[in-house]
Amino acid sequence: MERRSVLTLGAAGAAALVAGGAGLLASPAWADSPKAAEAARKTGADSLRGYGARINLPIGSALTPQDIEQWAEISGGQFSVVTGANAMKWQTVEPTTQGVYDWTDADQLVAFAHANHQLVRGHTLLWHNQLPNWLTAGVAAGTISKTQLWSLLEKHIFTELGRYKGKIWQWDVANEFFTDSNPSGINPNDWWVVNAGEDIIAQAFKWAHEADPHALLFYNDYNVTGEDGTNAKHDAVFAWVQQQRDAGVPIHGVGTQAHLDTQYGFDPQRFQTDLEHYASIGLKIAVTEADVRTFVSDATTQTPTDSLSQFAQPFEYSAMMQAAIAVPEVISFTVWGWTDADSWVPGTFKGEGYACIYDVNQQPKQAYYSLLQDLKIAAEGAPRRAPLPRA
Ligand code: XIL
C-alpha cells in the first residue's frame, strides 16, 4: 500500500492554507486524563487538524451558525476545512423570492474559515432537497418551464460560485442522484431528472467549472463506498463518473458521505477497496459527511441503549479514518457536525443519535480520541518496543 505522501493535496496551495500547527508536538493528554477535555479544545498541533496537517489530510466538519457563534474554539481549533451544514444550499441563499438573496450564513461561514485559516467545501448546488419553495411551486404550477429551470440553475451556479470565487476548495456540485436499489442507477424519479432531464447533471458541472475554474468539483452521495452491503451503488456511481469524465465533463472527485449506523455493520476492507477503485481512474475522494449513529435513550442525552454500540461507534469512525489515511487520493475527511447537540441525526432517524465525536455538552467522546490517535500514529509512527538490553 502506498503511503500518503506530502504531495497528495488536490488544489494548488491547499497545503499552505491548512495552517494549524505542523510543528513538533508535546505528547498529548489522552482519554480519561483530566487534561483530555482541555486538549481536545486546543487549537494547533495537538488537535485533529494539527495531526492531519502533518500527513496532508485536512480534517473537516459541517458547521451550523450555532457552531460558529457559540463553540468557535472547537469549530476553529480542531478542523482545517469546513462545510456549511445548510448555509450554501439554494433554499438558504435565495429563500423566499426569486432574485432576492440572503448570504448571511454563507458569508459568516466563509469569514469564519478565513479567520481560522480553514479551507471551505461548498455544499451543494444540485440536489432534490432544500430547494426554495418558489422554485418547486413554480415548477409544479407550470409557471417555470423546463427551459426556464435550466436558466435558473445556471444563474444560481454563476451567482453563488461568483460570489465566493477563489474561496471554495471543493464544491459538491451534484448530490444524491442514485437509487439504493440493486442494480443502482440515476433515479428516474429524482426531482431534477423529472423536471429538467438527466443531462442537467453534466451541465451543472460544466457551469460550475466555468464559474470557478480552480474549484475541485465533486459528485457526492451516500452508500457509495460499500455501506449498502452489495456495492451496487458504488458500481453505478463509478461507471457513471467514468463515463462522464471520458465525455469531458469536469468531475474531479467523488464525495462519500459516509453516514454509518451501528445496526447495519460496516466493512472497512470494502470501504478502502472502493476508495482505491475511485482513485484508480484518477479521481480524488473526499469523505464528506462522516457520522456513526446508533439507537439512544432519548434525543436530549443521547445515551446509547446498547452498550456495545459505544465500542462500535468509535471503531467505525476509526476504520473510516484508517482507510482514508491509507489512500493518498483521499484529500479531506469531514464529519457532519462535531457535537451531538446540533447533529441532524435525532431529527431525521427516529430513536437514533450519538452520531458525532463530541457529546451533547461538547465534551470529546471516545470517537474523538480514536480519530486523534489514528492521525497521531500516521504522523509519528506507532510506538516501538525498545530493544532488550543485552546481557
Ligand atoms: C442536513 C442538515 O444537516 C440538516 O440541518 C438539514 O435539516 C437537512 O440536511 N446529506 C446531505 C446533507 O448531503 O446536506 C444533509 O444535511 C444530510 C444528508
The alpha carbon of 336 and the centre of ligand 1 are apart by a number of angstroms equal to 8
Which pLDDT score, from 0 to 100, does residue 91 have?
A: 98
Handedness of CA 116, 73, 325, 304 (dihedral sign): negative
Q: For residue 382, name the pLDDT band (cuts at 50, 70, 90).
A: confident
Cβ(86) – ligand 1 distance below 6 Å:
yes
Cβ(175) – ligand 1 distance below 6 Å:
yes
Which pLDDT score, from 0 to 100, does residue 16 have?
A: 35
Q: Per the structure block, which three cell numbers stand in for 274?
A: 472502493
Ligand 1, atom 15, lies closest to the CA of: 85
The alpha carbon of 304 and the centre of ligand 1 are apart by a number of angstroms equal to 22
Which pLDDT score, from 0 to 100, does residue 36 have?
A: 46
Ligand 1, atom 8, lies closest to the CA of: 344
Average pLDDT over all residues of the chain = 90
Residue 222 CA: which ligand 1 atom is closest? 10
The alpha carbon of 36 and the centre of ligand 1 are apart by a number of angstroms equal to 30
Q: Given a cut of 50, is residue 31 above it in pLDDT? A: no
Cβ(318) – ligand 1 distance below 6 Å:
no
Query: Residue 380 and residue 41: Cα distance in Å, rounded?
Result: 21
Q: Per the structure block, which three cell numbers stand in for 37?
A: 477535555
pLDDT digits (tens, 9 = 90+) for 43-95: 577 899 999 999 999 999 999 999 999 999 999 999 999 999 999 999 999 99
Ligand 1, atom 7, lies closest to the CA of: 344
pLDDT digits (tens, 9 = 90+) for 129-183: 999 999 999 999 999 999 999 999 999 999 999 999 999 999 999 999 999 999 9
**Per DSSP, which regions of the chain are E strands?**
59-63, 81-84, 119-126, 170-175, 216-221, 253-256, 259-261, 284-295, 330-335, 352-353
Q: For residue 20, name the pLDDT band (cuts at 50, 70, 90).
A: very low
Q: Given a cut of 80, is residue 326 above it in pLDDT? A: yes
Type of residue numbered 360: V
Which pLDDT score, from 0 to 100, does residue 385 have?
A: 75
- Three-state DSSP class for residue 321: helix
Catalytic residues, by residue number, are 176, 289
Ligand 1, atom 4, lies closest to the CA of: 344
pLDDT digits (tens, 9 = 90+) for 180-236: 999 999 999 999 999 999 999 999 999 999 999 999 999 999 999 999 999 999 999
Which pLDDT score, from 0 to 100, does residue 387 have?
A: 76
